[in-house]
């Protein structure tokens, strides 16, 4: 049996014990109580993962392949399967609409979502620093900057 080494690890760093652990992968974490499908943790082409059926979810560290519990694996897989972004922080209710404001983790960094407006956090601003007032201000600025869409220009003949 063969197995690839983690990307940031050289062959000189691997001892017999670690090599045996790698060869034991993928390991069965448990069985999903709802579907009865097997949940597996392993090392793939994009790093450590957990899998249920055809749904994969990434693990944060290589050590997590051996330490992830069934509950943690189910949480990661369900979050991935639902397709909804996970909220990093709850800010409170918007004063005008009464809707809850949350900060989400997005592809280009954290952002605040309200109705159809997504406002990214400025560079250097931490999620913990954001208050409800700051979030409303960022959303208002974003809403104002959106403006009207420009139509297609007419070609001159």
Averaged over 14-20, what is the pLDDT?
90
Task: Name the nearest CA neighbour of 119 among 133, 96, 137, 107.
Answer: 137
Identify the pLDDT of residue 52: 92
Two tokens, residue 48 = 């450590």
Report yes or no: 29 and 69 within 8 Å, Cβ to Cβ: yes
pLDDT band with cut points at 50, 70 and 90 for residue 50: very high
Give yes or no for residue 7 having a pLDDT over 70.
Answer: yes
The whole model's pTM is what? 0.52
Give yes or no for residue 150 having a pLDDT over 70.
Answer: no
- Which has the minimum average pLDDT: 45-54, 70-79, 88-97, 144-153? 144-153
Two tokens, residue 147 = 């403006």
Look at the block and give the residue holding tokens 């992830």. Answer: 68
- Which has the minimum average pLDDT: 37-41, 106-110, 150-154? 150-154
Task: Name the nearest CA neighbour of 30 among 42, 18, 41.
Answer: 41
* DSSP category for residue 26: S
Q: What is the DSSP string of 48-86?
A: EEEEETTEEEE-SSSTHHHH--HHHHHHHHHHHHH-PPP
Identify the pLDDT of residue 69: 92
Greater confidence (8 vs 138) lies with 138
How far, in whole angstroms, is CA 98 from its chain's centroid? 27
How does pLDDT run across 122-136, given as a tens digit for each residue? 888 888 888 889 999
Secondary structure (3-state) at 61 = coil
Averaged over 71-76, what is the pLDDT?
90
Identify the pLDDT of residue 16: 92
Greater confidence (30 vs 83) lies with 30
């Amino acid at each position: 049996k063969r197995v690839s080494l983690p990307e940031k690890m050289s062959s000189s760093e691997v001892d017999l014990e670690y090599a045996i652990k790698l060869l034991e992968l993928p390991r069965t974490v448990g069985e999903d109580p709802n579907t009865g499908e097997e949940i597996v943790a392993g090392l793939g082409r994009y790093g450590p993962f957990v899998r249920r059926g055809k749904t994969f979810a990434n693990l944060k560290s290589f050590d997590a392949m051996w330490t992830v519990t069934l509950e943690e694996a189910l949480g990661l897989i369900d979050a991935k399967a639902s397709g909804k972004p996970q909220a990093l922080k709850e800010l409170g209710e918007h004063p005008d609409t009464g809707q809850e404001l949350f900060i989400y983790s997005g592809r280009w960094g954290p952002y605040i979502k309200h109705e159809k407006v997504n406002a990214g956090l400025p560079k250097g601003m931490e999620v913990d620093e954001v208050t409800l007032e700051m979030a409303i201000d960022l959303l208002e600025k974003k809403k104002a900057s959106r403006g009207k869409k420009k139509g297609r220009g007419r070609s001159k003949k």
